[in-house]
Amino acid sequence: MHSGFETGRLTVRPFEVSDAPDVARMAGDPGVARMIGSAMSPYPVIAAELWILTVRAGWDRKRPPNYAFAVTEKTGALAGSCGMFKRRGGADWEIGYWIGRPFWGKGYATEAGTGLMEWARESLGAERFVARHFEDNPASGKVLEKLGFAYTGDAEPVFSLGRMGHAGSLDMVCET
């Protein structure tokens, strides 16, 4: 299992089951969950525990690879999550992230995303990244632009568990 990495203000590490209550509380916040494709609101702690166990089991799988990290302040407080995955073998590396509402506006998504992409270049040999964000989440688009992503012009509806339905999303790409 990979050990993670550090940035100036953050420790980015594998999730522990003990993170589940914070994951459930922050990712289950309706304002956060509706911007993440895979988080429900409310988010039961048992569902967060299952997600963490599934993510940890996926670290050792080769097809398709999926690496999710806990984003924590140096104090140890969980601030969110960032990850790198492939939808299928041979696909580009896709990044995803969420930051809990108490940590919004601090630049953590950009900082964690920068570290994640550096980690992926070094650990996975990644050269090209893709991402998407919901049309009604321009803040996420701004984070991705700071990371070097550009819009592809492609847009499609994507299912959001937090919305319990599809919503328009915008595709982006970053080539190193």
Least confident of 5-14, 66-75, 87-96, 150-159: 87-96
Choice between 56 and 94, residue whose per-residue pLDDT is larger: 94
pLDDT at 60: 67
Give the pLDDT confidence of 110-164 residue by residue, as tens digits: 999 999 999 999 988 999 999 999 999 999 999 999 999 999 999 989 999 999 9
pLDDT at 61: 60
For the purposes of burial, counting CB atoms within 10 Å of the CB of 46, is it exposed (0-12), middle (13-18) or buried (19 or more)?
exposed
Residue whose C-alpha is closest to residue 169's, from 142, 140, 134, 143: 134
pLDDT at 63: 61
Which residue segment(s) compose the domain that 123 sits in?
Answer: 5-129
Whether the per-residue pLDDT at 62 is higher than 80: the answer is no
Domains identified in the chain, total number = 1
**CATH (domain of 18):** 3.40.630.30
Return d(Cα 136, Cα 110) in angstroms, integer: 19
In a domain, 100, yes or no: yes
pLDDT band at 88 (very low <50, low <70, confident <90, very high): confident
In whole angstroms, how far apart are CA 154 and each of 1, 12, 33, 110, 162?
35, 31, 23, 23, 23
Rounded to the nearest integer, the mean pLDDT of the chain is 93
Return d(Cα 101, Cα 22) in angstroms, integer: 12
Give Cα 22 to chain centroid, integer Å.
15
In a domain, 142, yes or no: no
In a domain, 139, yes or no: no
In a domain, 166, yes or no: no
**Cβ(66)–Cβ(85) under 8 Å?**
yes
Whether the per-residue pLDDT at 89 is higher than 90: the answer is no
In a domain, 173, yes or no: no
In a domain, 137, yes or no: no
Whether the per-residue pLDDT at 93 is higher than 70: the answer is yes
Q: What is the dihedral of CA 58, 61, 62, 68, to 10 degrees?
A: 20
Give the pLDDT confidence of 5-14 residue by residue, as tens digits: 999 999 999 9
In a domain, 95, yes or no: yes
In a domain, 154, yes or no: no
